[in-house]
Structure 1
Amino acid sequence: MTGAILYVSEYLLYAGRVSVTASILAEDRITLTPMADSPELARALDDANVPTLLAAYAYLTHDADFLERFAPHIRPAYSNPPTDIPEDIADELRIRIRRLLTTGDGLADSTPSDALVQRIMSVTVGEPVEDEFLELVYDQCGFRPWIDRSKVAGRKTPKAGFKVLVIGAGMTGMAAATKLREAGYDFVVIEKNADVGGTWYENRYPGVGVDTPSHFYSFSWEIWPQWSHYHPHGADMQRYMLAVADKYDLRRDIRFQTTVERLVWDEKTCMWTVTVRNSAGACEDIVVNAVINGHGPVNRYKMPDIPGLADFNGPVVHTANYPSDLDLKGKRVAVIGTGASSAQLCGAIAAEVAELTVYQRTKHWVIYNPEIAHDVSEGMKWALANIPTFKEWFRFRVYWSAADGLFANVLKDPAWEGNMQAVSEGNEMTRQYALSYMHAKFADRPDLIEKLTPDFPIFSKRIILDNGWFDALARPNVHLEDKGIARILPNGIEAPDGSVFECDVIICATGFNVSKMVGDLEIKGTGGRDLGEEWGDEDPRSYLGMCVPGYPNYFHTVGPNSAPNHAAGQNLISEAQVNWIIEALDRVNEAGARAFEVRQDAFDAWNRKVDERMPQMIWTHPRANSYYNNSKGRVFLSWPWRLVDFFNATRRPEEGSYRLIA
């Protein structure tokens, strides 16, 4: 989940619990039951975000002329000068939408045209939004979900006995379970943990949070109005996952505390034999037609390879396996790593520990987003839950500001000659914003500015959203070490110069083994091919991040070159891949075939396309080196286009790109 900036004002104060209902039908009509006119409603509208209210009003009324009165005053996110809507027309909007909500006066009798929706999008984000984004917005913002296969006339019901096994019950696995059931497929989910949530079940360290905004980092079919924070804490995210599992009754098809160990393809039967092990250690073979691997790349945490680590006398923990009973109060703590997890952790524990030393190997760009610490007011929750289309339009604004609206940052400008720390004028402006924030925070600490300032372009590695990280580093009990670690002693950490920091606890915020995408799984395909051997420890390749020739009916989600590393959007990638996979299974079902396999020529052509694109991207800058790249410099993780391009590419398998095995 890459970081992103999103500036959000205080939207609504408490507006009371009055009732409003709306039915938004994709094809034709909108109906609305008027709500009570009340002081709470008036106050809510006074505090509401004006562009979002405008979008909802224009959608419900089709009042294009009134919409255009705002166009000169709304500017793109992060622009200078910022959006500045005159109070007179803002007040007129509040009066109009109050009348609409309380009386129904002005409500259109049909949904707006594509042209009007596109114009609402463009006006309310302050820049042109092209028509290629329409289908994504309709689907991902909940206006017109892409497809409910259970309601498709003439669609062939999946063949009885055709079974799918899903690995993992994190975001992708839960999406797969929801949509497989909707599509009528028999399936089972295998989950190693005791409940759903994946990353958000496992990551429980102090300060854990999400750098993707809440109102976008969620399922498009379950847009939640109950977020407590604009950027969810880890517990917020897990509560959402649990609520989704409850609402859709997902647990009845999940086998918990069970681990998948081996997948073997049988060419004669066109079936996968999946070996699983339960919590008691007993193994079982499950024979299925297809496998969707949703175990994710940030599921296998990585301990640092430092001499003496096993000999330390105190607790040694990883942030991804943080014990709930670890007490740090008054302790001397060493944190190894300075990425996103470390920044969140240190911001949360610095005030309670006696001494904190943070060991930095890699510098990271840090961006301040004042919204990250803001709570969602009860009024905003009420508006999201009750004002027709408000939550849909708010989700669109978040998507635009935190995802594809940021794409220009990662695209190299061939004409850029400014410096080696940026790839374009816009990228340099973002870098200067981050620098100005750092210099302001550490005006009296030039030593920290020197230690923290990267020499590579911003966005070429994952950025950090500051939520207490810089404040923690400025504390007198916190020390940032950038000279490396020689070894771990039983009583502390020794630096290369021989100095020792004596500590009671070592916390490793050292990330995950992202490049070995099969993890510990053994995956045997056609002719005994071994996917782990073919991909090795750091060189995975696939088709659309999902398929590999020689492994029929095996779909590896969130795979090579499918990560949205320009900004937010892993939720969209997961949903899009699940959609494509079910479309692929439907091709098998419709043809009466047994298996789906991507063609070698399509696989090769796709990877050539990715390789040809990468030199245009920031991640191939000479100074960029991150977990997006392997040791040879190849960018194996990142999707080098926009989210809308991934969405449009995964509506259905391209004819000629695959073969069906009869």
Structure 2
Amino acid sequence: MATQLGAGEDRSIALDWQDRRLPMADTPDLRAALAEANVQTLLMVYVHLTHDAAMLDVFQNYIHPPFAMPGTDIPVECQTDLREKLHHVLVTPGAARTDAPSQALMQRMMSVGVGEPVDDEFLPLLMDQIGFEQPVPRRERSGRAAPPADFKVLVIGAGLTGMAASIKLTEAGYDHVVIEKNPEVGGTWYENRYPGVGVDTPSHFYSYSFEITPEWTTYHPVGADMQQYLLHVADKYDVRRHVQFNSVVTALAYDDDTAMWDVTVRRADGQEEVLRVNAVINGHGPLNRWKWPDIPGLDRFHGRKLHTATWDPSLDLTGKRVAVIGTGASGAQLVPAIAPQVEQLTVFMRSRHWVLYNPEIADQVSPGMKFALRHIPHFREWFRFRVYWFAADGLFGNVLMDPDWPADSPSVSALNEGMRQYALAHLHAKFADRPDLIERLTPDFPIFSKRIILDNGWFDALKRDNVALDNGRIAEITETAIRMEDGTEHEVDVIVCATGFDVANMMGNLDIHGRGGRSLRDEWGYDDPRSYLGVTVPGYPNYFMTVGPNSAPNHAAGQNLISEVQVNYIIECLDWAVAAGHRAVEARQEPFEAWNEQIATRMRQMIWSHPKANSYYNNANKRNFMSWPYRLVDYWNAMRMPDKDHFDLH
């Protein structure tokens, strides 16, 4: 397991980083933090505390995206001057201003801090997501109608989204219950424990905006660190008192007469119970239903067989001949983690993936940097801003097609071609002595048209003497081997399937019947889910989805943001119905159809419509059912509150 939150600390104890008062004690730890911490963020903190805009003038000519960390283009004398001035402000009584910077100054700070303009439209999102402006809890809002005491909400799943829903429902005064199939919270981060499991999203953004933590051990969290964060959140917000563990929702049926949902729940002992609730929030997530590959003979293999999503921590691979089927994100994380201990590792690659090198992917957060995040006022908020800016909408240009770009190009724009060349340069540098691997690993589709891989030892592992890459087609699996179509046989002791999840089947095994007995399975089929804004569907009053059709941020990091804003939208819908004296809210058919037509039209402008783009974002008919084809800021704005003309109340 990775280091827990606050190494050596009990996660039930209040973390001392929440006390960030001035003046600070002039300690060696503070001086070390100022020496080690990200200099662009220190600049933001200094100006925030002093309103000294002249310091922005000094630095604005030296800060350009993208950055190294710390910034190497900034003259040493400027950095030294900044650190000395900030040190004085932090330790001297009365040296820091107590009033907040004006919005104009904040916007200029942001623009200088990232080396490019931060437009007005981003300010509300940024102030919310980086933690400078937290909304007043709904129960405390003047004039808001309190939910009726008998109004009950059921949440499916206690992962990242389900926990956010529980916390915000509590803040809003809604009685609710969370049904969770596992014995603990965490969802995908509880379940995925394979060696090397990690997170693509940078650590200091991949958290709730209302619970920003400095306690990350690396700049990209390993899975165990993410789970520890969620355990900390569950403790702090007392989430578990709402959760019924080891329970599975199997069916939902809407009662037209009472505007209630009958929810069938199967308990661990197999017994079923029907819970009657007013509203359902489905937070079971797309990365929850793992799947075996469709390979003849898989069931007759006599050795050990497992999926990355159901990893057995007691499995000892030392000296074993191991096969890994799949080279997506899970496979690329697993292979370098287990390669040093196995006798022979054969990697079976069905399709190629673009691989990006991020030099900080495995970097440890230094003690000084962690001290700054814990104790220096405003540092963690401003650092989160930096991470968001470069991991989120700054990448959107990569997935937007340039209509004047050659149609037969393996890229879709100049920016996309630049990223392609960056990835190719890394590939060629890593395998300069292995041209055979360069040819076998180079994709022929545009980069970002399907999920990219971050190189955290993946390419190095493929060069090991005990690792072989086979990109041929598997014909069958025998009792002891994997047989290829060309007749080659690979004798193996263990087969690991890193073959992903059944994402297109967004209902999972749920049986959902809405108004008039209509069936969502009949309407969606197996892999053609459609919704209004990724949250609601006509005919299913008070049934809300999270990470629903065409709401995933596939151009960038940001699932935590999507989860938060969808929960906000759902509670706004419920609040509206309650205030109007109704019991249910339902999306209307015409806005639903218009929205899906808008998505279809927009998708033709996106990278996912490139002829060679094929990924799990698409269903069997090549329709992208998953991706949000706009920016995160656009979804944040769309989720502020429902358009009342697009809904009916019951």
TMscore range, shorter length: over 0.9
1:509 pairs, out of 484, 491, 498, with 498
Q: Distance in 1 between matches of 2:327 and 2:245?
A: 33
CA deviations on 1:389-411 (whole Å, 9 max, x unpaired) are: 10001111000111111111111
In structure 2, the partner of 1:651 is 640
In structure 2, the partner of 1:76 is 65
In structure 2, the partner of 1:479 is 468
In structure 1, the partner of 2:424 is 435
Q: Distance in 2 between matches of 1:316 and 1:104?
A: 64
Q: Distance in 2 between matches of 1:152 and 1:314?
A: 60
1:262 pairs, out of 226, 245, 251, with 251
Secondary structure of the residue aligned to 2:604 is: helix
Q: Which runs of 5+ in 2 are unaligned?
A: 1-15
Q: Does 1:470 align with 2:421?
A: no
Secondary structure of the residue aligned to 1:648 is: helix
The answer to whether the Cα contact below 8 Å between 1:210 and 1:231 also exists between their aligned partners in 2 is yes
CA deviations on 1:394-441 (whole Å, 9 max, x unpaired) are: 111000111111111111111223961111111111111111111111
Alpha-carbon offset, residue 624 of structure 1: 0.4
Aligned alpha-carbon RMSD (Å): 1.4
1:461 pairs, out of 450, 472, 475, with 450
In structure 2, the partner of 1:141 is 130
In structure 2, the partner of 1:629 is 618
The answer to whether the Cα contact below 8 Å between 1:74 and 1:83 also exists between their aligned partners in 2 is no
Map 1:584-623 → 2, pairs under 5 A: 584-623=573-612
2:570 pairs, out of 576, 581, 592, with 581
Secondary structure of the residue aligned to 2:361 is: helix
In structure 2, the partner of 1:356 is 345
The answer to whether the Cα contact below 8 Å between 2:32 and 2:368 also exists between their aligned partners in 1 is no
What letter is aligned with 1:117? M
Map 1:4-403 → 2, pairs under 5 A: 32-77=21-66, 84-403=73-392
Identity, % of aligned positions: 62
In structure 2, the partner of 1:27 is none
The answer to whether the Cα contact below 8 Å between 2:374 and 2:380 also exists between their aligned partners in 1 is yes
What letter is aligned with 1:186? D
Change over 3 Å in CA distance of 1:516–1:418 after alignment to 2: closer
Secondary structure of the residue aligned to 1:371 is: coil
Alpha-carbon offset, residue 48 of structure 1: 1.6
Change over 3 Å in CA distance of 1:504–1:272 after alignment to 2: same
Alpha-carbon offset, residue 115 of structure 1: 1.3
Map 1:415-434 → 2, pairs under 5 A: 415-417=404-406, 420-434=409-423
Alpha-carbon offset, residue 122 of structure 1: 0.7
Structure 1 residue ranges, 4+ long, deviating more than 6 angstroms after superposition: 19-23
In structure 1, the partner of 2:9 is none
Normalised TM-score (structure 2): 0.96
Map 1:424-573 → 2, pairs under 5 A: 424-573=413-562
Change over 3 Å in CA distance of 1:20–1:340 after alignment to 2: closer
Q: Distance in 1 between matches of 2:284 and 2:439?
A: 39
Alpha-carbon offset, residue 655 of structure 1: 2.6
The answer to whether the Cα contact below 8 Å between 2:33 and 2:367 also exists between their aligned partners in 1 is no
Secondary structure of the residue aligned to 1:306 is: coil
Q: Distance in 2 between matches of 1:646 and 1:387?
A: 32
Secondary structure of the residue aligned to 1:333 is: strand
Alpha-carbon offset, residue 604 of structure 1: 1.1
Change over 3 Å in CA distance of 1:537–1:20 after alignment to 2: closer
Change over 3 Å in CA distance of 1:22–1:196 after alignment to 2: closer
Alpha-carbon offset, residue 304 of structure 1: 0.6
Alpha-carbon offset, residue 22 of structure 1: 6.6
In structure 1, the partner of 2:3 is none
Q: Distance in 2 between matches of 1:378 and 1:92?
A: 22
The answer to whether the Cα contact below 8 Å between 1:166 and 1:293 also exists between their aligned partners in 2 is yes
Q: Distance in 1 between matches of 2:206 and 2:93?
A: 32
The answer to whether the Cα contact below 8 Å between 1:167 and 1:191 also exists between their aligned partners in 2 is yes
Residues 52-61 or 281-290, more deviating: 52-61
The answer to whether the Cα contact below 8 Å between 1:335 and 1:357 also exists between their aligned partners in 2 is yes
Q: Distance in 2 between matches of 1:468 and 1:21?
A: 35
Q: Distance in 1 between matches of 2:49 and 2:372?
A: 15
Q: Distance in 1 between matches of 2:276 and 2:19?
A: 46
The answer to whether the Cα contact below 8 Å between 2:253 and 2:512 also exists between their aligned partners in 1 is yes
Q: Distance in 2 between matches of 1:272 and 1:21?
A: 41
Secondary structure of the residue aligned to 1:373 is: coil
Q: Distance in 2 between matches of 1:252 and 1:222?
A: 19
What letter is aligned with 2:232? A
Q: Distance in 1 between matches of 2:608 and 2:499?
A: 21
What letter is aligned with 2:553? P
Change over 3 Å in CA distance of 1:420–1:352 after alignment to 2: same
The answer to whether the Cα contact below 8 Å between 2:448 and 2:555 also exists between their aligned partners in 1 is yes
Q: Distance in 2 between matches of 1:57 and 1:578?
A: 35
The answer to whether the Cα contact below 8 Å between 2:326 and 2:497 also exists between their aligned partners in 1 is yes
In structure 2, the partner of 1:14 is none
CA deviations on 1:628-662 (whole Å, 9 max, x unpaired) are: 1112221110000111111111010013111111x
CA deviations on 1:294-333 (whole Å, 9 max, x unpaired) are: 0011110010111100000011111001112111110001
Normalised TM-score (structure 1): 0.94
The answer to whether the Cα contact below 8 Å between 1:20 and 1:34 also exists between their aligned partners in 2 is no
The answer to whether the Cα contact below 8 Å between 1:136 and 1:644 also exists between their aligned partners in 2 is yes
Q: Distance in 1 between matches of 2:475 and 2:395?
A: 40
Q: Distance in 2 between matches of 1:396 and 1:152?
A: 28
The answer to whether the Cα contact below 8 Å between 1:404 and 1:644 also exists between their aligned partners in 2 is yes
Alpha-carbon offset, residue 545 of structure 1: 0.6
Q: Which runs of 5+ in 1 are unaligned?
A: 1-18, 24-31
Secondary structure of the residue aligned to 2:544 is: strand
What letter is aligned with 1:608? E
In structure 2, the partner of 1:411 is 400
Residues 387-396 or 607-616, more deviating: 607-616
Residues 370-379 or 479-488, more deviating: 370-379
Q: Distance in 1 between matches of 2:585 and 2:407?
A: 49
What letter is aligned with 2:496? I
What letter is aligned with 1:111? A
What letter is aligned with 2:167? T
Q: Distance in 1 between matches of 2:433 and 2:136?
A: 57
Aligned length: 633
Q: Distance in 1 between matches of 2:55 and 2:323?
A: 58
The answer to whether the Cα contact below 8 Å between 2:303 and 2:493 also exists between their aligned partners in 1 is yes
